[in-house]
């Protein structure tokens, strides 16, 4: 980077990449973390279509980018763009956090740790031995599945409209007998689940999966990895179907951001105040906390 470029970017640059991405709360979250810890940074949202992601990431690095977050639909596409991968990203086959190391990107995935921390520490849920239904097999599902297994859930059923993607995720997780890929249309035949997680982005359109009430066990927890209006449809269904607890993805968003911030800056910020402020402005649909 030339001296002129360095003068143009006096604070280290960070960004979230996605499509769409203008709605993202990540810039506000990381700005709050930086203020709390007196760490200067510049964090922006960069819209990137899948076909343009590699070029957008290269331009960001050339302009002084030191770290990034990756959201839908780019998490799996980020994997081959990384020179190295952490264990979480390698197991997931998806990247949500980028760290600049030398001339290349190191990829991590903090989604799963963020989700587990939100559900256990903030919502006070015991995940152990919960029979779990994971809806979707894309980048979001890949990010959380390994951490859920590590947290001690029981059998994990992955349902997806495209059976091949569910099979591929199950194969990547490598726990036959505990992980079961199925077609989405078969969800109603699989019995009751203690934990039902929507890892699709269907709430953004009209394609939200319709599940029978029978998938929810007594005192079941329903989780949508989305937050805000995108989570309304699924969690409204879960409430009407009798879920004991419903949780949106806002807490997970904050916790995974804190994990990424620690990778960039060597210190993990406290999340409670940032979560409280965001929750006061996004106060829908959470009853587990």
List residues with catalytic annotation: 75
Strand, helix or coil for residue 236: helix
**Residue 228 counted as an annotated binding residue:** no
How is 215-229 classified by DSSP, letter by letter? GEEEEEEEEES--GG
**Residue 227 counted as an annotated binding residue:** yes
**Residue 25 counted as an annotated binding residue:** yes
Helix, strand, coil percentages in the chain from 3-state DSSP, rounded to 5: 45, 20, 35
**Residue 24 counted as an annotated binding residue:** yes
**Residue 139 counted as an annotated binding residue:** yes
Q: Which helix (H) or strand (E) holds 169?
A: helix 163-173
What token pair was written down for 233? 């449809």
**Residue 104 counted as an annotated binding residue:** no
Place of tokens 């199925």: 182
**Residue 167 counted as an annotated binding residue:** no
**Residue 137 counted as an annotated binding residue:** yes
**Residue 161 counted as an annotated binding residue:** yes
Buried b (16+ CB within 10 A) or exposed e, 76-104: bbbbebbeebbebbbbbbbbbbbbbeeee
CA–CA gap between residue 271 and residue 267 (Å, rounded) = 12
CB-based contacts of 40, cutoff 8 Å, min separation 6: 10, 11, 12, 34
Distance between terminal CA atoms of the chain? Answer: 46
CA–CA gap between residue 9 and residue 60 (Å, rounded) = 12
**Residue 100 counted as an annotated binding residue:** no
**Residue 18 counted as an annotated binding residue:** no
**Residue 278 counted as an annotated binding residue:** no
Q: What are the backbone dihedrals phi and psi of residue 221, each rounded to the nearest 5 degrees, phi first?
A: -110, 130
Report which DSSP code applies to 149.
Answer: H
Best CA proximity match to 186, nearest among 208, 207, 205, 214: 214
What token pair was written down for 74? 């780019």
**Residue 26 counted as an annotated binding residue:** yes
**Residue 138 counted as an annotated binding residue:** yes
**Residue 74 counted as an annotated binding residue:** no
Binding residues for shikimate: 24-26, 71, 96, 111, 227, 256
Binding residues for NADP(+): 87, 136-140, 160-165, 225, 249
Binding residues: 24-26, 71, 87, 96, 111, 136-140, 160-165, 225, 227, 249, 256
């Amino acid at each position: 980077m030339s001296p002129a470029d360095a003068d143009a970017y006096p604070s280290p640059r960070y960004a979230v990449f996605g499509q769409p991405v203008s709605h993202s709360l990540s810039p506000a979250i990381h700005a709050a973390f930086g203020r709390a810890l007196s760490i200067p940074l510049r964090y922006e949202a960069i819209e990137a279509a899948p076909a343009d992601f590699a070029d957008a990431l290269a331009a960001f690095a050339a302009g002084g980018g030191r770290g990034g977050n990756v959201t839908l639909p780019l998490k799996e596409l980020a994997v081959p763009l990384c020179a190295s991968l952490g264990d979480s990203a390698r197991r997931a086959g998806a990247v949500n956090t980028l760290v600049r190391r030398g001339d290349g990107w190191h990829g991590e995935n903090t989604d799963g740790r963020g989700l587990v921390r939100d559900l256990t520490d903030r919502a006070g849920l015991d995940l152990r031995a919960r029979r779990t239904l994971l809806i979707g097999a894309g980048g979001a599902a890949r990010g959380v599945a390994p951490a859920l297994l590590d947290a001690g859930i029981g059998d994990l059923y992955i349902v997806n409209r495209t059976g091949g993607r569910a099979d591929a995720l199950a194969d990547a997780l490598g726990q036959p007998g505990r992980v079961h890929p199925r077609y989405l249309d078969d969800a109603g035949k699989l019995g009751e689940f203690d934990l039902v997680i929507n890892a699709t982005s269907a709430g953004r359109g009209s394609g939200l999966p319709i599940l029978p009430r029978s998938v929810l066990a007594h005192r079941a927890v329903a989780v949508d990895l989305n937050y805000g209006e995108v989570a309304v449809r699924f969690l409204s269904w879960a409430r009407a179907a009798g879920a004991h607890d419903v949780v949106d993805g806002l807490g997970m968003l904050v916790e995974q951001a804190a994990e990424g911030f620690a990778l960039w800056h060597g210190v993990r910020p406290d999340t409670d105040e940032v979560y409280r402020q965001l929750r006061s402005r996004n106060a829908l649909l959470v009853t587990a906390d």
